[in-house]
Structures are given as structure tokens and as C-alpha cells.
A = this chain, B = another copy of it.
Amino acid sequence: MGANGVCPLETTLKVEIITVGNEIISGSILDTNFRFIARKLSSIGADVLWHTSVGDDPETMSEALKLALRRADAVIVTGGIGPTPDDITRKVVSTVLARALLLNDDVLEAIKNRFKLRGLSMPGINERQALFPKGSEIIENKVGLAPGFLIRENGKLLFVLPGVPVEAEVMVEQSVLPRLAAAGSLRVTEQLLFRTTGIPESVIAENVASLEEPLEGVTVAYLPHEYGVDLSLHFRGADPKQVVPLKRAVQERLRKMLGQYCYAEVEKRLEEVVGEMLVARGLTLAIAESVTGGTVAGLVTSVPGASRYFMLGVTAYSNEAKMSVLRVPEILLLEKGAVSAEVALEMAKGVRERGLCDVGLATTGIAGPDGGSAEKPVGLVYIAVVSASASNVKELRLGGNRALIIRRASAAALDLVRRTLLSQEGES
């Protein structure tokens, strides 16, 4: 405690975010406000330590607010400041901080005007959106009706914002971030990201553990996602002269260690990376799918502008389709089976010719739950890439349920295109 009862902020600003609403706590809607705010705060070096969600219940909410004001330097509440009876946030704040709710005439006037502009008169219940706990600083809402507010209490900051994501987001960027930055207690933060596929999390962790650089004060996170594992490092410290060289050294070392397993060092999806590589080389792609059932084509076409390089996709689920559309020889299907390296290669070749494309990609395998055998179990997948100069095929043994096998096979297929393009680069 400071001389006059004010807690000095610590070198890092500790933040708690509280999201309020029955629709959130019951799982009816996905809470996106928390992530948006946390990401923005992390980017300016604040430490988001707690996130709490509660329903529209005064008792639970009071408890959550009291706890947050005790343990955090700044608290951001979203939700519960609308006009309906279930919107209780301003009342709870008023009670917990023992500050009376006062009517703000300017805000009331502005709300009335918003209705007037739409040719309506303001319903009585909207008046409460002009009520604020005594001593509040009004935070303008440029998108919706209800302004937010900021209360400074014992050196701590309490922000209250609307729950509607687009409103909360604008207010965070325009009002909350500048006020937190002005609190002047944020650390310099550098960040590294390595998006990898095809390498187990534990192997990445062993690589990181073998680094000679000192990683005290560096947060290392392994983020598994559907297509691989992201390695994320946050470097913190007051002095850029120390942090920046450390970051560069670690970056260089990890680049070498991860090699081709890393497909991006920015927030970019594998299919975007493959698309950019195709555009850069002026190449076109055709895709033949069996086990992945259209998922690879769906990923490729999820990227804006995919029509510049993607021409044709064929999901050949039946053997007839493999023969008639992709021209896979019947004898191969009979002798090797549809799930085989040979058929994968023929599918890639066939779709490449059909689509008049530079690169042909194919997948075949068993996604389950049925259809497996001792010799060819569920999870057995072959992927193949054929281009003018290359002909690559790969056998995979994937774990997981049907959905996961399909996703993992799709990622591996895209990655084989990436690696084929990279190796052709090496040749020329």
C-alpha cells in the first residue's frame, strides 16, 4: 500500500477479464470477447492472468467482481449493460463499490437522439443505460447504444463494456488500450512463432530444451492444433537491447532445428502457404481424393484467390470413379487394392492430366470406423504428389477417430505438396 492507501502498480499490469451473461455460461453462444481482449492486452505487454465467466446472477457476479478487484491491477468486464431486466452489471458494480448510480443527462440525450434518428421515441427501459456509478469516466460507444465506463478505485482500474462483440472490440482498441498504456507499467515484449506439421510435440520440446540460450523470463508454449503443433515464445524485459538479440539468436537456432517441419513463422495456414508457393512459381494444382473426401479441396479453396492455381478436384469414392474419371487401371485396383501406394500415384497422375495442371495430389486410405483389416488397418493412408519432374508417395499410419484421420491426412497431403515444391527449388 502506498502512503495514501493507493496500491502502486507492479512492473507488470495484472489483468482479469470477466465476461457476463447466461448465454455464455450456459454454452448457448461462444464467448469471443475474452480472446479478442486478451490478445490485444498481450500485444501491449499486459499480463492477463484470470478469465472468469458468470451468468446474469447478482450474487455470483458480485463475488467474481470482488475477487477480481482484490487480485488484479485492472479488471475488464463485458456484458450486462443492456436495457433489459437481466442486465445487472451496473447495479452490481454500484453495490460492490458502494457508489450510487447517477443519471448522466448528456448520455440520456444521446440515446434519445439515436432513437429519434430512426424515427422512434426511446422506450422507457433504455433510460437505465444512462445510469453510471458515481465518479465514472464515460467510455464512448461508437457502434451501439450503451456507453461503457471506467472507475478508478484505490489505484486499480475497472472497465465496464457492452457484451456485443463488435461494440466491445472497438472500445477496447480506442479507449481501453490507450488508458492501460498510460498506466505506464507494461514491459517490452518480443514474440516468435513457428507453425509446424509432421513433428511430435515432444520432439519440439526436446529441441527447445537443448537450446544453449538462457530462456529465463521467456514463456514457451506448445499449441497443438488440427494440423500440427505451433511453438510460441514470448520474450519479456524492460530493455530491448537485451531482449532483441536473445530473440534473434533463438530464432536462428530453432529455424535450423525445425527445418522443413516449420511451414510458417506468422499466423498463416498451411493451405495459404501452399497457395502462395504455387502462385510464386506460376504452377497449377489438381487434387484427387478418396479418404479425405473433398476436405483437401475445401481447404485449398478456402483461400481467397485460389482459382488462380486450383483447377480441378475429384473425390473418387468408388472404384468406378477412380477408373472412369481418374483412369486408374482396373488391374492395379484388383492386385494392389484401392488403398495402396501404386493407386495413390495413379490417382495423382490421372487428376493432373484431367485438370491439365502442373501438380497432381492424391489421397487414399481408410478413415474408419469400419473397413479396416489386419493388413490394412484404419488409419493407413497413402498420399502422392506428381509433377513434371517429381513423383512422391508417402505411407502414413494415423491415429484418432474418422474426423481426425481425415484432417491429419489432409494436412499431410498439403505438406507433401509444399515439400515437393521446396525440393524442386533445391534442384534448380
Task: Please list the residues of chain A having a beta carbon within 8 angstroms of any beta carbon in chain B.
Answer: 21-32, 34-42, 48-57, 60, 64, 67, 82-86, 114, 117-120, 123, 125-126, 142-144, 164, 166, 170, 200-203, 205-206, 209, 219-225, 232, 234, 287, 289, 292-298, 300-302, 304-307, 310-318, 320-321, 324-325, 354-356, 368-371, 397, 399-404, 406
Is the CB–CB distance between A118 and B60 below 8 Å? Answer: no
**Is B321 a contact partner of A316 (Cβ separation < 8 A)?**
no
A307 to B50 alpha-carbon distance, docked (Å) = 46
B312 engages A321 (CB within 8 Å) = yes
Interface centre among A39, A67, A119 (most CB of B within 10 A): A39
Known contacts A28-B221, A219-B22, A317-B311: does B50 contact A60 (CB below 8 Å)? yes
In whole Å, how far is A414's beta carbon from the nearest beta carbon of chain B? 13
Q: Which 9 A-B pairs have the closest CB atoms?
A: A293-B301, A294-B297, A27-B38, A27-B39, A313-B315, A294-B294, A51-B53, A294-B298, A312-B321
Determine if A48 and B30 form an interchain contact, defined as CB atoms under 8 angstroms apart: no
- Number of copies of chain A assembled together: 2
25 residue pairs from A and B, CB less than 8 Å apart:
A25-B48, A27-B38, A28-B222, A31-B34, A50-B60, A51-B52, A51-B54, A52-B53, A56-B221, A83-B205, A86-B220, A86-B221, A119-B397, A123-B200, A143-B399, A166-B401, A294-B313, A297-B315, A301-B315, A302-B403, A302-B406, A307-B371, A311-B321, A312-B325, A321-B355
Q: Within 8 Å CB of A223, what residues of B?
A: 23, 28-29
Q: How far is the CA of A220 from the CA of B202 in the complex (A)?
A: 45
Collect the chain B residues with CB atoms within 8 Å of residue A125's CB.
202, 205-206
Least CB distance from A257 to B in Å reads: 15
State the Cβ distance, A254 to closest chain B Cβ, in Å.
15
CB pair B55 A26 closer than 8 Å: no
User: Given A49-B54, A222-B86, are A312 and B314 also a contact pair (CB < 8 Å)?
Assistant: yes
Q: Tell me what chain A mostly uses at the interface: helix, strand, loop, or mixed.
A: mixed
How many angstroms from the CA of A144 to the CA of B324 in the assembled complex? 38
Cα(A302)–Cα(B294), bound, Å: 10
Q: A42-B27, A143-B404 are in contact. Are A82 and B201 (CB under 8 A)?
A: yes
- Nearest-Cβ distance from residue A384 to partner chain B, whole angstroms: 18
Minimum Cβ distance to chain B for residue A409 (Å): 12
Cα(A400)–Cα(B162), bound, Å: 14
How far apart are A69's CB and chain B's nearest CB, in angstroms? Answer: 15
B60→A49 contact, CB < 8 A:
yes
Q: Which residues of B contact A307 (CB under 8 A)?
A: 317-318, 371
Known: A27-B42, A30-B35, A52-B52. A301 touches B317 (CB 8 A): yes
Cβ-defined contact, B30 with A32, below 8 A: yes
Closest to A30 in B: B35
Q: Are B403 and A166 in contact, with the CB atoms below 8 A?
A: yes
Are the CB atoms of B53 and A25 closer together than 8 Å?
no
